[in-house]
Amino acid sequence: MKHYDYLIVGAGLFGSVFAHEMTKAGKSCLVIDKRDHIAGNIYTEEKNGINVHKYGAHIFHTSDRGIWDYVNEFADFNNFVNSPIANYKGEIYNLPFNMNTFSRMWGIKKPSEAKEMIEKQIEELGITDPQNLEEQALSLVGKDVYEKLIKGYTEKQWGRDCKDLPASIIKRLPVRLTYDNNYFNDRFQGIPMGGYTQIVEKLLEGSDLLLSKEYSEFVKEASCKEISFDKVLYTGMIDEYYDYKLGHLEYRTLRFETDYLSEDNFQGVAVVNYTEREIPYTRVIEHKHFEFGKGDGTYITREYPSEWKEGSEPYYPVNNEANNALFSKYEELAAGETNVIFGGRLGQYKYYDMDKVIKAALEMVAKENN
């Protein structure tokens, strides 16, 4: 008979931080994952000396000193600064939206000129209190930037009209009247040298691990194998856990197409966003640029978003009003549980960045140990 304090479903960032902290606190943890590897979507795999971000680009950034110190215990971070570019029908623009973007768009040089241009466009549109992503974007950057750099990209990414998406999605991006191409406003930023997988390997030291194991299968087998546990941390989709009994939450999935090219430098930058509607992928990642061009040849990945269906991998919750309302009902069910807790992007149905995932996991640990 093997008994654990916690069964942790999902060996991603949330589950592994939780496992690490609980193990440190003297609890026993069994971590299971349906995939044949750890690290969830932050998994990186070394190929030809290049760390390939198998499930899309992950750039660590945070303004929280405590979280930055925490991840630095598990890896050394390089000084990568994300400065993606946008390709709109062959025209190249800097991101996030800043003076380089505005200068290229309107042939202007001074912040006051950009400000005037944006204000004029906003005034013409007459938006005072933005109610959705389209109105929010228009009121931040005006019509030209919206139409070339936001509308097509967002509709591909989310599969919905910009009027039917929450304003919060676009608020993730800075808008600056300076010539600063740093995509993030955060104080700390970087890529773990040697990839992300090593972080999760270290976090899982001291826990037992079972890979290629679906939760539903595992639960059936557990009693025969005489495995028991006091509590479950579930980091998969909360609606799936409840067998969709209140209805389906919506998610976006991604398909990645990765090619190895023998040339040394394909696009000169880690991330290029293709912002026109007609190109079916949203972005092309050139992985070697996350670590300043080390490695032979190059790996590039095209990212194709689509609506999640049963059997595909969920990547993004679609946090519109209807889904958030349904999630609240699942949350009520969850609040009534005595031995199951839910965490992570899928368990908490939140568009979390990595630093927020760690923070939420540490908060959950504190609550559990209280």
Query: Interface with ligand UDP by CB under 6 A: which residues?
Result: 86, 95, 149-150, 153-154, 157, 169-170, 172-173, 273, 275
319's tokens: 């946090």
List 21, 134, 353, 355, catalytic entry: 353
Q: Which residues of 109-148 are buried (b: 16+ CB within 10 A; e: fewer)?
A: eeeebbeebbeebbeeeeeeebebbbbbbbbbbbbebbeb
Question: Burial, 167: exposed, middle or buried (Cβ in 10 Å; 0-12, 13-18, 19+)?
Answer: middle
Q: Can 252 be counted among the known catalytic residues?
A: yes
Q: What angle do CA 251, 158, 332 make, to 5 degrees?
A: 35
* Shortest distance in whole angstroms from residue 292 CB to ligand UDP: 21
Our CB check for ligand UDP shows the closer of 149 and 249 to be 149
List 33, 134, 303, 355, catalytic entry: 303
Q: Could you tell me how far CA 131 lies from the centroid of its own chain?
A: 24
* Shortest distance in whole angstroms from residue 66 CB to ligand UDP: 23
List 55, 283, 286, 299, catalytic entry: 283
Our CB check for ligand UDP shows the closer of 159 and 297 to be 159
Our CB check for ligand UDP shows the closer of 27 and 252 to be 252
Our CB check for ligand UDP shows the closer of 153 and 241 to be 153
* Shortest distance in whole angstroms from residue 235 CB to ligand UDP: 18
* Shortest distance in whole angstroms from residue 175 CB to ligand UDP: 11
List 176, 196, 250, 349, catalytic entry: 176
* Shortest distance in whole angstroms from residue 252 CB to ligand UDP: 9
Q: Can 172 be counted among the known catalytic residues?
A: yes
List 153, 252, 316, 349, catalytic entry: 252
Q: Can 104 be counted among the known catalytic residues?
A: no
Q: Can 226 be counted among the known catalytic residues?
A: no
Our CB check for ligand UDP shows the closer of 150 and 341 to be 150
Our CB check for ligand UDP shows the closer of 23 and 320 to be 320
Query: Taking a C-beta distance cutoff of 8 angstroms, is the pair 86, 271 a contact?
Result: no
Give the Cα separation of 168 and 171 in Å (integer). 5
Contacts of residue 46, defined as CB under 8 A and 6 or more positions apart, other chains included, come to 52, 194, 195
The radius of gyration of the chain's CA atoms, rounded to the nearest angstrom, is 22
- Residue 55's nearest CA partner among 323, 275, 320, 345 is 345
Collapse the DSSP code of 147 into the 3-class scheme (helix H, G, I; strand E, B; otherwise coil) and give the result. helix
Strand order in 29-32's β-sheet?
A: 208-210, 29-32, 2-9, 227-234, 340-342
List 172, 187, 255, 277, catalytic entry: 172
Q: Can 303 be counted among the known catalytic residues?
A: yes
Strands (E), 223-291: 227-234, 251-261, 271-274, 283-286
* Shortest distance in whole angstroms from residue 281 CB to ligand UDP: 13
Q: Can 353 be counted among the known catalytic residues?
A: yes
Q: Can 302 be counted among the known catalytic residues?
A: no
* Active site members: 172, 176, 252, 283, 303, 351, 353
